[in-house]
Homo-oligomer: A and B are copies of this chain.
Amino acid sequence: MTHPFEAAIDLRPGADHRLLGRTVPEYANMVGPFGGATAAALLHAIEQHPDRSGDPVALTVNFAAPVADGQFTIDTTLVRANRSNQHWTATMSQDDGVVSTATAVFGLRRDAWSGTEAVMPVVPEPGAVERSNGPEGVAFLQNYDLRFVEGRPPGDGIPRASSATTLWVRHAPGRVLDFSALAALSDIFYPRVYLRRGKPVPAGTISMTTYFHVDAAEVAELGDDFVLATAQGQQFARGYFDQTAQLWSRGGALLVTSNQTVYYKDSFGR
């Protein structure tokens, strides 16, 4: 039986070198599929292109229109390559046009001085944190094991001073991590504005950029383990806020840094 995440990013060759995919109910969000699954499918399309060389370094996905349930088409273009890097563009389309655009950089890592400057949050082990089932009506969250350390989704109407959320997360049912899975996990956070308003308000990611800091061998070593995901907003400005996020391995490796800009309304129905 195919894992639901596998099904969500499964792509088959179509006419004119396009790739065909299909949304799956297990990765549905409140409207359309989980944006992280869209990002993962776009990255996966580039990964399986015969001209692809190296591992993902950067991925930007712009969510241009809601993705309808059903079939989608992905086109990929290798714009430029040099000895170290490849620059790709991609689009996801449905019957009524382009629904997402993406750019990606793939590259080859090499021996060079390395160091982590960000500091991993000090948190209890995942086994010591209670699992949250996630809100009903958000199908894709039922396919992750979520263990909130701070900043669980608020519903009491009390504004928080901080929009920070930190959680342990892994696929449920289990699945080994790969770059597509990390791209999706970059978008695992509910909108930061919820915490600042103390309750859900209309919000949706417009653009997400993810930087990968590990190569394929390092990702493979993660297996199907938990990663620590942490996110916070920096600026909420009249309808758009940003979010900066990190994904850490249990062993303390900074796997991914990711940023996104999110459209929101406040609670007054405007």
Contacts and interface: CB of A to CB of B under 8 A. Distances in A.
B234 A254 contact: yes
A246 B270 contact: no
Nearest to A255: B235
Interface in A247-265: 254, 257, 259, 261, 263-265
Given A65-B82, A87-B101, A213-B242, A118 B235 contact: yes
B270 A111 contact: yes
A217 to B, nearest CB: 11
B196 A239 contact: no
A238 B212 CA distance: 12
Nearest to A196: B115
A62 interface: yes
Copies in the complex: 2
Contacts of A109: 237-240
A117 B233 contact: yes
Interface in A195-218: 196-197, 206-207, 209, 211, 213-215
Interface residues of A, number: 66
A193 B115 CA distance: 10
A111 B60 CA distance: 28
Q: Helix, strand, loop or mixed for chain A's interface?
A: strand
Nearest to A197: B113
Contact of A213 (B108, B112, B163, B240): B240
Given A233-B117, A235-B118, A244-B244, A60 B60 contact: yes
A261 B263 CA distance: 24
A250 to B, nearest CB: 17
Contacts of A163: 117
A36 interface: no
Interface string A103-132: 101011111111111100000000000000
15 contacts: A57-B207, A58-B207, A65-B82, A80-B98, A85-B263, A110-B238, A110-B270, A112-B264, A117-B163, A117-B235, A209-B259, A211-B235, A215-B238, A235-B254, A257-B259
What 10 pairs between A and B have smallest CB-CB spacing? A64-B80, A64-B87, A118-B234, A109-B238, A213-B237, A209-B209, A113-B266, A58-B207, A112-B266, A60-B60
